[in-house]
Amino acid sequence: MIVVTGAAGFIGSCLISKLNKEGHTDLILVDDFSFEKKSANYKTKQYAQAIERKVFLEWVKEHANEVTFMYHIGAKTDTAEFNVDLLNELNLNYTKTIWNICTQHNIPLVYASSAATYGLGEFGYDDDESKINLLKPLNPYGESKNDFDKWAITQTSTPPKWVGFKFFNVYGPNEFHKGRMASVIFHSFNQIKANGGVKLFRSHNPNYTDGGQLRDFVYVKDVVNVLYFAYTSNMKNGIYNLGSGKARPFLDLAKSTFKALGKEPNIDFIDTPIDIRDKYQYFTEANMAKLIAQGYTTPFTSLEDGVEDYVKNYLVNTVYL
């Protein structure tokens, strides 16, 4: 059986859909299932059992011999969370325990890291493990992810196969529950429906125009394709970027959302809040050469095609993947 933590969340639930599509139904879903708004993400999925996060570690110790693969996607993903103890508990120590269980019981492991580990990108966006100790994340969330990456690469006892993926700006279906942490596309869609316009952050960096801030936006369908590739391939153990490999401006994202709705762009700019202004990333772009070198050849969805699919086939009628 395959275990997926974070199974009720955005990426985790989309991964469940991918696994179901590929014929896998003997799945163990792990999450905090008390959040009712997440239930639509998994209620139509096929799986063997849903287990609460708080009891999962005890469960897996008893059933480890039945587990054939582990996807650890669950995490506290709020970039504005400053409770370091909470982030260490959920993102660092919980993941260490899962790693040790997988090592002890010979279970292959894929886990979620984050592009937030790169901070302002002072050392680039190359998934070079020799640079991990140099990285300077901008918030405790990024630090918790980087702390685990740093720990993982020093371990001499490891799962038989292990891969960490640094997710860049993921967008797509099943993020209805995420509130302010949902993608800019999700918020743009709702702003357009509510008042006909979109508000983007003004640039406070002279090197970038308003709306010209660049991010690597990656469609969640591409993300789960890569996650499945990690299951089926013999890729080398290590930490890999998972983005589209192409930085795009927020202005293009907003314009694509208007186009998908058949509307003319109506975009205004507002000041970036003072409390995040000095921690704002003006550029991210995943170097995807390392993954491609492992044999991954599926093209990534363009921003325009991804936004059109997301808006027309999911957001307009509140459809889940």
Q: Give catalytic residues, as residue numbers.
A: 141, 178
Q: In 3D, which of 86, 72, 79, 89 has the Cα closest to residue 3?
A: 72
Helices 303-310 and 250-260: crossing angle, nearest 10°? 40
280 and 269 Cβ atoms separated by less than 8 Å = no
CB atoms within 10 A of CB 205: 13
Write the CA distances from 11 to 5, 20, 61, integer angstroms.
Answer: 10, 14, 25
- By three-state DSSP, how is residue 143 classified? helix
- DSSP structure class, residue 283: B
CB of 132 closer than 8 Å to CB of 153:
yes
39 CB neighbour count, 10 Å cutoff: 12
Torsion of CA 222, 209, 118, 12, to 10 degrees: -30
Q: Are strands 69-72 and 109-114 parallel, antiparallel or unpaired?
A: parallel
Residue 233 CB partners (closer than 8 Å, separation 6+)? 294, 295, 296
Residues in CB range of 229: below 8 A, 6 or more apart: 235, 296, 298
**DSSP run (H or E) holding 303:** helix 303-310
